[in-house]
Amino acid sequence: MLMGDVPVAAFLSGGLDSSAISALACRTRLLPCVTTAYGDDTGPSEEGNEDLSYSRAVARRLAGRVHHHVSVQPHVLDLEDLDAVCDLAAVGDDLRHVAILGNYRAVRDLGLRVVLNGQGADEIMGGYIARPDFVRNILDVRSPDPSTVRSLPASRQVPGLSPQLLSLRPQAHAEVLAYYRDVLTGPPLERVHRLLVHTQLTRVVQFEDFLAMRMSVEARFPFLDHRLVAWAFQQPFDTHVNAPARHGKVLLTAAMRGTLPTEHLDRPKAVFPFPDMRTVQASLAALVTEHRAELHNDPLVSSLFTIPADPAAFGPDTLWPLLALWRWHCKLRTTARTPVPA
C-alpha cells in the first residue's frame, strides 16, 4: 500500500481504523496525515470537532513520524457543492460526500496524489455492532435474534419519496431479505456483515473512488486487501466481537494496544463527521425554495419525490436526496445533449 513513485499520505480521523493505518504506515517513512474539521475564517475549534482532538492526540503519540494537516470545511452548502459530488454512475445519497471530497481536495492541495483510507474495517471486523441503527435493524449481539434484520431495508429508506415509488418498496425489501436468507451463509452475525460487504461496502468504495478521482488523487484501502479480508472472514466471527460490551474490532484493538493511546482503543464507534446540521438544513431549505419551480418541472424528480411545501420543516435526510437527484438529472441531460466529436 505504500509503494509508488510519489509520496503516500493517510487520512487521520482519530478513530481506530485511520489511527491504526497511520501508526503502521509511519514506521517506514514520514507520513503526511490529513484530518477534516469544521470551522470558519478563524479556523477550527476542538469544541464540536471531536475528531480533531483525537487526531491531534495520535499525532502527538507519533511525533516525528507524521506531519499532521487539518482541512477546515465550511458548514454552508451550495449548488456548486452538489454538482462537485455528482456522479452519473450513482445518485449521491449522503451529504457527507461534500466533506469527503474536501478531504481529497486537501490531499491534492498538499501536492500529494495517493492517500490511505480506513474504509472497510467495520464491515469485515464487526465495527458497527454498537451503532443504534445496527442494534435496532440488523442484530443485537447482546440478545441475538435473526429476525431483527427484517427491518433493515425500511431503515435505509430515503424520506419524502412519492407514492408511485413507495409502491415498489415491498418487492425491493423482499429482494434484499431473500439475498440474506438464501445466498449468505454462516452464523447470524457473520451473515449480516457479509450482507454489508455485498451491499453497503461496494457503494462506499465506489463513491470514495469517484471523489478521489475528482481531485486527481488515488485512494487506497488497506483493510480491503484481499489477504486481510480473507483472514477476517476465516476467523470465527465472534472473535471480532465483545458481545456484552457491544464492542467490535476486538482483534484489531488488541493488535494496536501499546501503539495507540488507550482512549482511542476505547472510543465508541463514530461516523464520518457532519457539519453543523442547523446550518446545513438552512442551506438546503433555501436551495429547495429558490429552485422550487425547476424541481417541480423536472419529470424524474417530481415522479420520485414529493416536493416539500415548506422546506424549512424538513431535515437534510429529506432535502439532500431531493436536490442531489435533481442535479444528477440535470447533469445527465446535459451530457446527453453534448455532441460526440466526429
The answer to whether residues 271 and 283 belong to one domain is no
The answer to whether residues 176 and 145 belong to one domain is yes
Q: Say what the pLDDT of residue 290 is.
A: 97
Answer with the residue of higher pLDDT: 5 or 231: 231
Q: Concatenated DSSP letters for 171-219?
A: HHHHHHHHHHHHT--SSHHHHHHHHHIIIIIHHHHHHHHHHHHHTT-EE
Q: Say what the pLDDT of residue 252 is.
A: 96
Is the residue at 150 inside a domain?
A: yes
* Residue 273: band (very low, low, confident or very high) from pLDDT cuts 50, 70, 90: low
Residue 96 pLDDT greater than 70, yes or no? yes
Is the residue at 254 inside a domain?
A: yes
Which one of 246, 275, 304 terminates a domain? 275
The answer to whether residues 268 and 314 belong to one domain is no
Is the residue at 342 inside a domain?
A: no
Structural domain count of the chain: 2
Q: Say what the pLDDT of residue 295 is.
A: 97
Q: Say what the pLDDT of residue 308 is.
A: 93
Which one of 239, 254, 275 terminates a domain? 275
Dihedral over alpha carbons 223, 31, 252, 186 (to 10 degrees): 0
| pLDDT tens per residue across span 278-296 | 888 999 999 999 999 999 9
* Residue 268: band (very low, low, confident or very high) from pLDDT cuts 50, 70, 90: confident
The answer to whether residues 21 and 119 belong to one domain is yes
**CA neighbours within 13 Å on the CB side: how many for 328?**
17
Distance between first and last Cα of the chain? 41
Q: Say what the pLDDT of residue 208 is.
A: 94
Residue 115 pLDDT greater than 80, yes or no? yes
3-class state of residue 241 by DSSP: coil
Q: Say what the pLDDT of residue 338 is.
A: 65
Contacts of 290 (CB under 8 A, 6+ apart): none
Is the residue at 312 inside a domain?
A: yes
* Residue 44: band (very low, low, confident or very high) from pLDDT cuts 50, 70, 90: low
The answer to whether residues 42 and 162 belong to one domain is yes
The answer to whether residues 267 and 118 belong to one domain is yes
| pLDDT tens per residue across span 178-195 | 998 899 888 888 888 888
List of E strands, the chain? 8-11, 31-40, 43-44, 66-73, 114-116, 218-220
The answer to whether residues 61 and 106 belong to one domain is yes
Is the residue at 103 inside a domain?
A: yes
Q: Say what the pLDDT of residue 302 is.
A: 94
Classify the C-alpha dihedral 106-110-114-120 as positive or negative.
negative
Which one of 241, 275, 309 terminates a domain? 275
The answer to whether residues 317 and 224 belong to one domain is no
3-class state of residue 73 by DSSP: strand
Q: Say what the pLDDT of residue 90 is.
A: 83
Answer with the residue of higher pLDDT: 319 or 7: 319
Please give the DSSP secondary-structure letter assigned to residue 29: S
CA 104, CA 213: separation in Å to the nearest integer?
9
Taking CB atoms within 8 Å and a gap of at least 24, the contacts of 148-155 are 149/177, 149/180, 149/188, 149/192, 149/195, 150/177, 152/176, 152/177, 152/195, 153/177
CA 17, CA 249: separation in Å to the nearest integer?
9
Q: Say what the pLDDT of residue 200 is.
A: 86
Answer with the residue of higher pLDDT: 146 or 80: 80
Is the residue at 204 inside a domain?
A: yes
* Residue 266: band (very low, low, confident or very high) from pLDDT cuts 50, 70, 90: confident
Is the residue at 332 inside a domain?
A: yes
The answer to whether residues 255 and 287 belong to one domain is no
Strand partners, 31: 66
Determine how β-strand 31-40 pairs with β-strand 114-116.
unpaired
The answer to whether residues 271 and 291 belong to one domain is no
The answer to whether residues 133 and 232 belong to one domain is yes
The answer to whether residues 123 and 256 belong to one domain is yes
| Domain hosting residue 154, numbered range | 1-275
CA 208, CA 119: separation in Å to the nearest integer?
9
Q: What is the CATH number of the domain that holds 209?
A: 3.40.50.620
Answer whether 0.85 is exceeded by the pTM. yes
Distances (CA, A) of 94 to 29, 86, 203: 35, 11, 11
CA 312, CA 125: separation in Å to the nearest integer?
40
Residue 263 pLDDT greater than 90, yes or no? no
